[in-house]
Structure 1
Amino acid sequence: MTDLEFLDRAEQLLLAVEQSADRINDTSDADVDAQRVGGMVTLVFPNRSQIIINLQKPLHEVWLAAKAGGFHFRLDGEQWQDTKGAGEFFERLSTYASEQSGLALSFTAQG
């Protein structure tokens, strides 16, 4: 994968995270604040806990930091998979966001 291909796919991921947060806020009582600065999205929950998602351009990875720990994801051609085999990005993000918010939250690649 070239740097430009990585940036295109990674930007799609960040946009989907932002759109998912908007959808969650519109369809539930959740209040997830998605703050974007460059290649980083910070999700802030009402209890002030955060999940940070940022691009690691030189490694062609997306990193996710949550209360559960830090995780690295690499595109396998179709999906962003944990580099240690712990699952797909949006599945893991949904789990960690649900744990931190106390609500069942679903983030998807389609926003």
Structure 2
Amino acid sequence: MTESEFLTASDAIFAHIENALDEVAFDVDPLRAGNVLEIEFEDGSKVIVNRHTPNQELWIAAKSGGYHYRLLDGAWINTRGTGEFFADLSAAIAAHAKAPFVLAQP
């Protein structure tokens, strides 16, 4: 994937996350600034999603830890263990919101 393709793909993923969060019943405030999407919850906690362009990775930082994902065979797979980006992000958001949340892969 070229850098331009990665940026386009990650922009679409950020927009997908923001759109999904616009539809939830719990109080959440997503804020995108450049390569970072900061998701702030009512209690002040945050989940941070950012893209690391040099490695073409998406990163998640949450209470549960920090995770890196790379596109492999059409899925964003954890580079340091097991897991998939959308499932792991869903779990992190649900944990912070203390409410069910599922983000499907677009």
The TM-score range, normalised by the shorter chain, is over 0.9
Letter in 1 for 2:17: V
Q: Deviations over 1:34-83 (max 9, x none)?
A: 11111210001111110000110011001110000000011114121111
Q: Which residue in the other structure is 2:3 paired with?
A: 3
Find the aligned partners of 1:81 and 1:60 in 2 and give their Cα distance.
12
Which runs of no fewer than 5 residues in structure 2 stay unpaired? none
**Is it true that 1:91 corresponds to 2:87 in the alignment?**
yes
**Is it true that 1:82 corresponds to 2:78 in the alignment?**
yes
Q: Which residue in the other structure is 1:66 paired with?
A: 62
Q: Which residue in the other structure is 1:38 paired with?
A: 34
Contact 1:16/1:108 (<8 A) preserved: no
State the identity %.
34
Give the TM-score normalised by the residue count of structure 1: 0.89
User: Higher relative CO (CA 8 A, sep ≥ 6), structure 1 or 2?
Assistant: 1
Which runs of no fewer than 5 residues in structure 1 stay unpaired? none
Aligned Cα root-mean-square deviation (Å): 1.2
Q: Which residue in the other structure is 1:16 paired with?
A: 16
Letter in 1 for 2:36: M
Q: Deviations over 1:11-40 (max 9, x none)?
A: 11111111111122xxx2x01111111121
Letter in 2 for 1:8: T
Kindly indicate which of the two structures has a greater share of residues assigned to strand. 2
**Number of residue equivalences:** 106
Q: Which residue in the other structure is 2:97 paired with?
A: 101
SS of the residue aligned with 2:23?
helix
